[in-house]
Amino acid sequence: MKPSLARGTRDFSALEVSRRRYIINTLQKNFELFGFQPLETPSFENLSTLTGKYGEEGDRLIFKILNSGNYLDKVSAEELHVDNHQALTKKISEKALRYDLTVPFARYVSMNHGQLVFPFKRYQIQPVWRADRPAKGRFREFYQCDADVVGSESLLQEVDLVQLYLKSFSDLKIPVTIHMNNRKILSGLAEYAGITDKLIEFTVALDKLDKIGKEGVVKELLEREIAQESIDKLEFLFNQTDDALENLLQLKEKFADSEIGLKGVEELEFVLTQSLNLGVDMQNLVFNITLARGLDYYTGAIFEVKADEVAMGSIGGGGRYDNLTEVFGVKNIPGIGISFGLDRVYLVMEELQLFPEEATTNVEYLFANFGGEEIVEALKLIMKLREKGISAELYPENSKLNKQFTFAEKKGIKNLVFLGEEEIKNGTVTFKDLTAGEQKTVSVEEFLGL
């Protein structure tokens, strides 16, 4: 049997794991700096927990888990041939791999709201699964790194999350632009165009503008039975200026009769203005009126982060979801959260060569194996280095020195140490810096930094 990987999954080498850990550690440090606490949830949830939370397209991408045992015994022959796949799915699958971290978080809050102190801020760094078509930067198994706040309606949370995004990407040295919109603005646009009953269809199509262009969006709107007259009223969406506040001013005029639209403009204006007051460069913030993120649960702010110098989809996104816990029977718990796409962040950093040297975990010292008594002395010295937090190991076989040299170079080990009969007699250590090519002999005390 020829070994192979399932499509959309990957193995990670030591270097890749070290670099991913560097990104995770940077994000975790900032999450905790901003007052978020860690949380983990199971890799799979009840299917009913996940369905109906991600919109029509999202539901199709949920990885369902077949019930264990002879689940088909419960399904009649007639049911196996019906066209009602949803009904059949309920018979054979009751669980699914989590699609994101937000819905499981909402489920956790709903189950534990009596014990939580609000506002409750949590971060979560775990894998998620989507039955998507694999492509560059798109995988079926990937990590999300989320930060959410629940129990607060204050727009200062949005301002704080903008700061969290900018600081985190600044620490990773990735130049980014945060695209912003508000779900209430999208509702206002639907009211303005007379398509309130088609809000979801409208936002799902609009969210594809980057992928399929204006013509593609218009075509999809027509296919979703949105009248040409309504589409004509929305023509201005495709001709926005670079001035976010000017675009918001234009919307205020169009939303004269839309209370929800005006509310969205007011909220976004507050977030933009406060961010600018805190010294954020307007170049880093974009009011993207076509940004929809076709998820049913957003009710206010919508964020999407894009790397400035790499052609790739979003590397982060999120928004406000004030009604999400209601589906679990718990009302009046507003929430907002953002997510970092670890895998895409990695690809961006790799392409821009942004990983620092400390993002690798190469062994500092490899001790050459001379056999006999020297092994014991080498192991003693290795133990002392490890006690000081310095990585070291002994080459396992008493092989030719050339072979040990080659091993060290291929492994990217920084120093090769020689502790032979002469060094042991004199209380010295000889080591070669394999990067610089320099060799030194020093006392054991000096080598250990004593």
Is 54 known to sit in a ligand binding site?
Answer: no
Closest to 237 in 3D by CA, of 205, 220, 214, 259:
214
Answer with the residue of higher pLDDT: 176 or 92: 176
Give the CATH number, domain containing residue 336: 3.30.930.10
Domain identity same for 392 and 380: yes
Rounded CA-CA distance 371/368 in Å is: 9
Provide the residue count of the chain: 450
In angstroms, how far is the first alpha carbon of the chain from the final one?
55
Cα angle 115, 54, 302 (rounded to 5 degrees) comes to 80
Rounded to the nearest 5°, which phi and psi values hold at 24?
A: -60, -45
SS3 (DSSP) at 446:
helix
81 has pLDDT over 70 = no
- Residue 247: inside a domain: yes
Rounded CA-CA distance 35/32 in Å is: 5
Domain identity same for 96 and 143: yes
Give the model's pLDDT for residue 58.
85
With pLDDT > 90 as the criterion, what percentage of the chain qualifies?
64
190 has pLDDT over 80 = yes
Amino acid at 298: Y
Domain identity same for 62 and 150: yes
Give the model's pLDDT for residue 24.
98
171 has pLDDT over 60 = yes
Identify the DSSP state of 194.
T
Rounded to the nearest 5°, which phi and psi values hold at 290?
A: -90, -5
Give the model's pLDDT for residue 15.
92
Closest to 412 in 3D by CA, of 367, 447, 378, 364:
364
Range of the domain at 279: 186-288
Mean pLDDT in residue range 91-114: 91
Domain identity same for 338 and 210: no
Give the model's pLDDT for residue 77.
57
Is 138 known to sit in a ligand binding site?
Answer: no
Model confidence pLDDT, tens digit, residues 228-244: 988 888 888 888 777 88
**14-23, 31-40, 137-146, 392-401 — which is least confidently predicted?**
137-146
Closest to 9 in 3D by CA, of 94, 93, 97:
97
Domain identity same for 369 and 392: yes
What number of helices (H) and strands (E) belong to the chain?
18, 16
Are 314 and 305 contacting, i.e. CB atoms less than 8 angstroms apart?
Answer: yes
Domain identity same for 119 and 241: no
**6-15, 112-121, 156-165, 210-219 — which is least confidently predicted?**
210-219
Domain identity same for 203 and 109: no
**Partners of 214 in the beta sheet?**
none
Residue 136: how many other CB atoms lie within 10 Å: 10
Q: How many structural domains does the chain have?
A: 3
174 has pLDDT over 80 = yes
Domain identity same for 126 and 230: no
CA dihedral sign, ordered 46, 48, 54, 56: positive
- Residue 268: inside a domain: yes
Structure token pair of residue 64 = 């369902």
Identify the DSSP state of 255.
T
- Residue 301: inside a domain: no
Is 257 known to sit in a ligand binding site?
Answer: no
Is 183 known to sit in a ligand binding site?
Answer: no
- Residue 299: inside a domain: no
Domain end point (choices 288, 320, 340): 288
- Residue 58: inside a domain: yes
294 has pLDDT over 80 = no
Mean pLDDT in residue range 212-219: 86
89 has pLDDT over 70 = no
Is 283 known to sit in a ligand binding site?
Answer: no
* Model confidence, pTM: 0.85
Which residue carries 């250590």 as its tokens?
429
Is 101 known to sit in a ligand binding site?
Answer: yes
**60-64, 122-126, 158-162 — which is least confidently predicted?**
60-64
Give the CATH number, domain containing residue 444: 3.40.50.800
Q: CB within 8 A of 65, min separation 6: which ones?
A: 44, 93, 95, 96, 97
Give the model's pLDDT for residue 74.
59
**Partners of 150 in the beta sheet?**
120, 335
Give the model's pLDDT for residue 204.
82
Residue by residue, DSSP assigns 37-67 as EE----SEEEHHHHTTSSHHHHHHT--EEPP
Amino acid at 242: D
Rounded CA-CA distance 161/157 in Å is: 6
Give the model's pLDDT for residue 3.
95
Amino acid at 311: A
Domain end point (choices 346, 361, 376): 361
Rounded to the nearest 5°, which phi and psi values hold at 13?
A: -75, 175
Model confidence pLDDT, tens digit, residues 7-47: 999 999 999 999 999 999 999 999 999 999 999 999 999 99
Structure token pair of residue 403 = 């072979």
CA dihedral 206, 212, 218, 223 (to 10 degrees): -90
- Residue 393: inside a domain: yes
Model confidence pLDDT, tens digit, residues 405-430: 999 999 999 999 999 999 999 999 99
Give the model's pLDDT for residue 13.
93
Closest to 41 in 3D by CA, of 89, 111, 133, 94:
111
Q: What is the mean pLDDT of the chain?
A: 90
Give the model's pLDDT for residue 292.
83
Q: CB within 8 A of 358, min separation 6: which ones?
A: 22
Question: Residue 119, preceding bond cis, omega within 30 degrees?
Answer: yes
SS3 (DSSP) at 147:
strand
- Residue 1: inside a domain: no
Domain identity same for 168 and 192: no
- Residue 303: inside a domain: no
Domain identity same for 338 and 366: no
Q: Which helix (H) or strand (E) holds 31?
A: helix 14-33
Identify the DSSP state of 2.
-
Rounded CA-CA distance 137/115 in Å is: 39
Answer with the residue of higher pLDDT: 12 or 58: 12
Is 100 known to sit in a ligand binding site?
Answer: yes
pLDDT band at 303 (very low <50, low <70, confident <90, very high): very high
Give the model's pLDDT for residue 100.
92
Rounded CA-CA distance 352/161 in Å is: 25
Domain identity same for 155 and 23: yes
**98-107, 214-223, 237-246 — which is least confidently predicted?**
237-246
Domain identity same for 16 and 106: yes
pLDDT band at 85 (very low <50, low <70, confident <90, very high): low
